[in-house]
Amino acid sequence: MTSCVAQLSGNRAFINGTVLSAASQGLRASALPQHGKFVLVQCQYFRCLGFFDKDSKWRNAQTFQELADVKSWCRIGEDTFTPVN
């Protein structure tokens, strides 16, 4: 499986180092991690290890409770957060 790295820099969006056109940036902003794959999740007031479940809900990886206020997420080992629309 090939990984995809999405990044924002100023008002430009990149996927795997390629600048996206304005039309495709809307698609990039909605990019979500694979279902069940652990990622770092940024909520309103905290960060935690979480995942996007098969029902398209964000969950805390330790408690499995639903996370209602997810703002962005980041793959483990990376430092760029992807906004959640």
pLDDT in tens, 49-66: 999 999 999 999 999 999
Residue 79 confidence (pLDDT): 82
In the numeric block, the tokens 């629309």 are attached to 85
Whether 29 has a pLDDT exceeding 50, the answer reads: no
- Provide the residue ranges of all domains of the chain, joining segments of one domain with +: 6-83
Pick the closest to residue 30 from 79, 83, 68 (CA basis). 83
Given a cut of 50, is residue 11 above it in pLDDT?
Answer: no
- DSSP-derived letter for residue 85 is -
pTM score, whole prediction: 0.61
> What are 69-79's pLDDT values in tens digits?
899 999 998 88
Which of the four pLDDT bands, split at 50, 70 and 90, describes residue 6? Answer: low
